[in-house]
């Protein structure tokens, strides 16, 4: 935990360094031209649409070069895992029992199904809070910024899931109904309700639980790559290259996913410092 806290200090502004959507064109007109409808032609209504500068939309953690990916893997492997809580261990244990202690594409795909859940819970509660604080626009805006971040992290986890499912299909691994459909749904159901309940009672505990989950995922990916050097020779199939980037090998693709998990962890640890939006 102490090392993780150090990471937070070092990467305190990581959230703000994330890649953002394209900024508005500098020469774009701040005010859209007035358009007259057929009704307006009849002299009834005239509307003006004003487009202020939009806030940038986070598009996920930064994509790393090969050297950066190798360095990120070394950093992860040199960093002790967080001290996992009982709740986290209650989720990790059945996963290890069902899918094996060793990493595999099917196990990672299962973990990615669960990984989206806290972000969905936070997003849902965020909308309730926006509604509740509708009369305080500055506060509602800050809550909405958290919602936007939660959605971006959900999308990032969804890409992980799609990539892992693609690797499962390409390597011809079987996914049976009970361990790969029913069990993930049950664990996700449990995790979702724990996440929102914790968030209502102690939001810092909810963020902490997610940080532990992300720390676990980061170490699982980086360890898996270290234990499977043959993946350096397997080209990245690039199925989702347009959306996620293309890497030299499956090893680098998994390192990038591992680094994304670290980014999620650091974001949650940072949110713990100010768990309630004020």
Catalog residues that contact Fe ion under the rule CB under 5 A.
112, 115, 157, 160, 214, 261, 264
In the complex with Fe ion, the residue whose CB is nearer, 140 or 190, is 190
**C-beta closer to Fe ion: residue 18 or 264:** 264
Least distance (Å) between residue 29 CB and Fe ion: 39
Please report which residue ranges of the chain form alpha helices under DSSP H: 2-10, 14-17, 38-41, 66-78, 86-99, 105-115, 117-132, 137-170, 177, 183-201, 203-227, 241-244, 250-273
Which long-range contacts (C-beta less than 8 Å, at least 24 apart) are formed by 166-170? 166/237, 166/239, 166/240, 167/105, 167/237, 167/250, 168/105, 168/106, 168/109, 170/237
Q: Between 133 and 151, whose beta carbon lies closer to Fe ion?
A: 151
Minimum CB distance to Fe ion, residue 8 (Å): 16
Please tell me the distance from the alpha carbon of residue 252 to that of residue 273, in angstroms, as a whole number. 32
Question: 125 or 161, CB closer to Fe ion?
Answer: 161
- Closer to Fe ion by CB, 111 or 231: give it: 111
Count CB atoms within 10 A of the CB of residue 175.
15
Considering the complex, what minimum distance in angstroms separates the CB of residue 156 from Fe ion?
Answer: 7
Tokens in use for 167? Answer: 């690797």
Q: How far is the CB of 155 from Fe ion (least distance, A)?
A: 11
The dihedral built from the CA positions of residue 188, 125, 214 and 161, taken in this order, carries a sign that is positive
State in angstroms the smallest separation of the CB of 58 from Fe ion: 14
């Amino acid at each position: 935990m102490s090392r993780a806290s150090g990471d937070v200090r070092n990467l305190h502004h990581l959230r703000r360094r994330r890649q953002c959507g394209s900024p508005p064109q500098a020469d774009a007109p701040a005010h859209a031209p007035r358009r007259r409808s057929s009704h307006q032609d009849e002299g009834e209504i005239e509307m003006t649409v004003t487009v202020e500068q939009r806030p940038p939309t986070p598009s996920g953690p930064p994509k790393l070069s090969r050297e950066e990916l190798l360095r990120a893997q070394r950093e992860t492997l040199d960093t002790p895992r967080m001290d996992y809580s009982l709740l986290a261990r209650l989720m990790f244990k059945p996963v290890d029992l069902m899918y094996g202690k060793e990493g595999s594409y099917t196990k990672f795909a299962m973990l990615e199904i669960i990984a989206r859940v806290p972000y969905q819970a936070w997003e849902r509660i965020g909308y309730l809070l926006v509604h509740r604080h509708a009369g305080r626009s500055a506060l509602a805006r800050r809550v909405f910024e958290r919602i936007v971040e939660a959605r971006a992290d959900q999308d990032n986890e969804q890409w992980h899931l799609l990539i892992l499912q693609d690797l499962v299909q390409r390597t011809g691994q079987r996914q049976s109904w009970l361990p790969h459909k029913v069990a993930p749904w049950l664990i996700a159901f449990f995790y979702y309700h724990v996440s929102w309940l914790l968030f209502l009672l102690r939001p810092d505990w909810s963020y902490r639980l997610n940080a532990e989950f992300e720390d676990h995922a980061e170490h699982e990916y980086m360890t898996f790559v270290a234990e499977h050097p043959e993946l350096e020779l397997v080209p990245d199939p690039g199925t989702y290259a347009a959306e996620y980037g293309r890497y030299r090998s499956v090893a680098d693709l998994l390192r990038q996913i591992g680094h994304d998990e670290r980014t999620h962890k650091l974001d949650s640890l940072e949110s713990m410092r100010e768990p309630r939006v004020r």
